[in-house]
Amino acid sequence: MVEITTPLTEEKARALRAGQKVAVTGVIFTGRDAAHKKLVEALDRGEELPVDLRDQIIYYVGPCPPKPGWAIGSAGPTTSYRMDSYAPRLIREAGLRGMIGKGQRGPEVVAAMKEDGAVYFLAMGGAGAVLAQRIKKAEVVAYPELGTEAIHRLEVVGFPLIVGLDAAGNDAYVEGRTRYARPAPA
């Protein structure tokens, strides 16, 4: 298990390898479909982003509302490919260093990650109740009108992840699947 404290510098990011288990402690930001659209529209207009993303990690999640006594409701990852058309610009233009989600990414994202030294982490899809226990504080910091899709600032302790794609382009999914594939029945 590799312990990581945010912010995630390029040096820390480039040292990670696909398949490694990681525990993240510190601040991460949430963002999914609607927030990504707004962030990239702000870049198009040449505006400053509402959150400084340099060396930060975005978690693709739309959490449930918190029950009394909880910092946040269920909070597992959403499928990442829907952010593929936006992610390269956040990496290249805003200095985004890490993404947390689930599922495969497209070649444009991988290319931007390799060039700039960014990492794609996997969180356990459908384990939102367990993951919520590792989130100690949550507050909306941008786009409150988006409800669950607003950008939240999360304080996490030992947030459990797997390196899905490292900055050299190695892919934990391809490595895992290749190991267990059998010929298909005729």
Partner 1 sequence: MREVKAADITAVLRDMCIQACCHLPPDVRRALQNARAAEESDIGREVLDILLENAAVADQNEIPICQDTGLAVVFCDLGQEVRVVGGDLREAIDEGVRQGYKDGYLRKSVVADPLTRKNTGDNTPAIVYFDVVPGDKVRLTIAPKGAGSENMSAVAMLTPADGARGVRKFVAGRVIEAGANPCPPLVVGVGIGSTMEGAALLAKKALLREVGQPNPEPHLAKLEREILEEINASGVGPQGLGGRTTALAVHVLTGPAHIASLPCAVNIQCHAARHVERVL
Binding site for partner 1 (CB under 8 A): 34, 61-67, 70, 73-76, 78-79, 81, 102-104, 122, 124-130, 132-133, 146-149, 162, 172-173, 175-185
Each residue of 134-156: b (16+ CB within 10 Å) or e?
bbeebeeebbeebeebbbbbbbb
CB 145 → partner 1: shortest distance, Å? 9
CB 105 → partner 1: shortest distance, Å? 10
Nearer to partner 1 among residue 54 and residue 137 (C-beta) = 137
What residue has token string 């060039």? 115
Nearer to partner 1 among residue 102 and residue 117 (C-beta) = 102
CB 106 → partner 1: shortest distance, Å? 12
CA-based R_g, the chain, Å: 16
Q: How far apart are CA 62 and CA 73, in angstroms?
A: 10
CB 60 → partner 1: shortest distance, Å? 11
The overall longest dimension of the chain from CA atoms, in Å, is 57
